[in-house]
Amino acid sequence: MAVLPIQVFPTRVLKQRAKRIKNIDGPVQKLVRDMLETMHAVPGRVGLAAPQVGVPLRVIVIGIPEEEDIVLINPEIVRRKGERVIDEGCLSLPGFFANITRSEVVTVKGLDQNGKEVRIKAEGLLAQALEHEIDHLNGTLYIDHLDSIEKLQKVAPPETKPKADGG
Ligand SMILES: [Zn+2]
């Protein structure tokens, strides 16, 4: 396994539509393992899409803390419900975040790394991560959902953040 370098905006691969996977062969399974290792190597990560490691293929991995990792090949959002405005950032746009509108509930179908069909109905952080990572496969970054780039905010360095916990 290997930790792969994360592609940072404005690299071209992040703006491309990724290709569907026809056969889940050895190289695809290796890509999945490397993506999982790469995701776990970055603190605060909840997901990663193959274009973010420079591979224009439709593979995403999701790692919500305290939950089992999810691997999805050729994922598709089949249903979205509701709207909410939430903070969002991206490993490929380090140092920034923005408030964007996402769905409350999404239903996603795809294949796992063994080619088995999976269908996931998600809300909360998992729904957000699924929409964010599937956007990556379509060459869409969260900043593309902003009506103005001025809505992009800089992440404050940790030492200047107010300490709500009194520590
Ligand atoms: Zn991202």
d(CA 40, CA 131): 20
d(CA 86, CA 99): 5
Spatial neighbors of 87 by CB under 8 A, at least 6 apart, are 97, 98, 99
d(CA 162, CA 156): 10
Mean predicted lDDT score pLDDT of the chain: 94
Quickly state the pLDDT bin for 43 (edges 50, 70, 90): confident
CA 94 to ligand 1 center in whole angstroms = 10
pLDDT of residue 162: 54
Above 70 in pLDDT, residue 20? yes
Q: Using the CB atoms, write b or e for 88-114: b if 16+ within 10 Å.
A: bbbbbbeeeebebebbeebbbebbebe
pLDDT of residue 152: 95
Q: 57 with 74: CB under 8 angstroms?
A: no
pLDDT of residue 164: 56
pLDDT digits (tens, 9 = 90+) for 77-125: 999 999 999 999 999 999 999 999 999 999 999 999 999 999 999 999 9
Annotated catalytic residues are 133
d(CA 105, CA 30): 31
pLDDT (mean) for 141-147 = 96
CA 150 to ligand 1 center in whole angstroms = 19
CA 160 to ligand 1 center in whole angstroms = 25
pLDDT (mean) for 22-49 = 95
